[in-house]
Structure 1
C-alpha cells in the first residue's frame, strides 16, 4: 500500500472522536476518509478542520464511501456485531473497541463469520496490551525469572459511572479489560468466577452494586482478583500485581508530577482512561495501521473478544446468583490462534 490508509470511523462519541484526532494528528500512514454516527452534527464537529472526510448517518454508507480501506469501530457495543459483519462482507480490516460484542452468542457469530473467510480481519481494542508497564510485566512473566505466577491482584477504579450504568456493567464493561489482561499476561484461560458484593458506597447511584470484588480461577491453577469501584470519586486508577513463586511485580503506581506547596504535597490523578492510557491507545492504533498497510492483522483477535464476552457473562451470572460460576467456552475454530 503506497498511499495513506483510508479509514472509516464508526461512532463519533467520546472514544470515536478521540480516535479521529489520533488518526489525523498522531498516527502516520492513515487518514480519516469517512465517519458514521446517527448524530451527524456530532460527527461533523469531530471532523472539523480535517479535509476530505465524508460524514454519514449510517454505517453501511460510511463503509462504502470512496477511499475507505479499513474501519475503526467506536460505536456503542450493541452496534458492533452488525458493523463487524458488514466489514467482513467487504473484506475490510477492522479495529473494534471492546466489548467486541456484549453477548457471547453474538461474539461467537462474529468469530465463526471470520473463520469462514479463512483469514483474520479483526483486531479488538484491548489497549492494555500496548501499555508500557503491562508489556514489561508480560515480558517479565514470560521470562520466568519470578517463577510460576500464583496470583494477580488488580484494581480498577473510575471517578464516576455514566447515568445508565448497571451493576452488571461493572463486570461486562469495566472488568472486561482485566479479563483480557489476565488471559494475556498469564497465558491461561479463565475457568470460573465468583463475585463478592460489599456494602455499596454512599457515592454510588441508588441501586448500583458498587464496588464489587471479582475472583477468577484459571486453568493453570492461578487466582485473579479484581476490585472494581466505578464511583470512587477521586480519579481513574488501574493497578496490577503479579505474585509468583520467587517474587512479585507491581504496575500502575502514579508516575505523575508531584506538587509541593503550603506545607503539603500532592500528585495529579488521571480522570479517565483516555488520559491514563493515551500512549497505549497511540501505540495500538499505530501498530494496527502499520500491520494493515502490510496486509497483516495482529493484536487481540476476535476469539479474544469472544473469550472476554463469555467470561463476563459468567461473571454477571455469579453476581446475580451469588454462586461460583463455571465458564463454558465453545470450541475454538481456525484461524484463531493465540495472539
Structure 2
C-alpha cells in the first residue's frame, strides 16, 4: 500500500462510498447537506427539550437521548468519509478503525433499544394513561436509559474486540465508507463462521426482539385508537403511527439486512447503500418524524422565537 501519507503494514485503507467524479461530487454535497440537517435538527430538539419545562416528560427525555445518538452517529461517519473522498488513500490505524467500529456499534445498538423503549412509552401513554406517571416514573426512565447504554456499550465492546483480534492477511483495503464489522470480515484470513453466529444471535437480541416490541406496542396503540369516537383523532393518530413505523422500518430493515445475512451474501455495493439508511438517512428523518411535526415541540419553538423577537426589539 502506498499513499501520500506514511502507511504502516498494519494500517487499513477505507476505499469510500464515492469516486472522484463530478456526479459523485454532487452526491457528496447532498450527503453533507443531510449531515448539516441531522446535526441542526437533533441539536435544536435537545435544546428545546432542555429549555422548555413543558417538555420535561418521559417521551421527550427518550427523544433527547435518540437525538444525541443521531448527532454522534453522523459525527462519527460523515467527517471521516468526506476527508477520505477529498484525500483518497488516507490510512486508518487499527486503533482508529476499532474506535470507529466501537462507536458506531454503540450508537446503533443504543438506537435499536431506544426505539423499543419509546414505543413502550407511547403504548403506556395511550393504552394506560391513568397509570402513565406511575409506570414511567423518573426513576424508571433513568433505569431504562441506563440499561440501553449499558447494553449498547457491552455489545459494541464484544464485537469490536472480536473483530480487531481477527488475523488480516493480504489487502488491507476496506471496500466501504467507514470501518464496519461485516466489511472487515471479508479481509480476514481465518474462519469467521463462529463470529457470524455471534453476530446473528446479537441481531436477535438487538434487532428482532426490539422490533417485535415496537410492532406489538403499535398494534395495541392502533387497536385503542380505532375505538375512539373522534374521526379526526383517529386520522391524526394513524398518520403519526404510520410515519413512526416508516422510519422504524427503514432503520431496522437496513440493520437486519446488513447484520443478519451470512457474509457470503454480502456485496460491497449493497452494503454501502444499506449502511447509508441507518447512519445518515434515519438521523435526518428522526427529528422531523418524531418531534418537529409534534404540536408541543412546535409550541416550544414558537415561544423561543417570541422571546428572541422581544430581545431584538429591546
Same fold (TM over 0.5): no
Structure with the higher strand share, 1 or 2:
1
Greater relative contact order structure (CA < 8 Å, 6+ sep)? 2
- What is the TM-score of this pair, normalised by structure 1? 0.27
- What is the TM-score of this pair, normalised by structure 2? 0.28
Structure with the higher helix share, 1 or 2:
2
Max Rg structure: 2
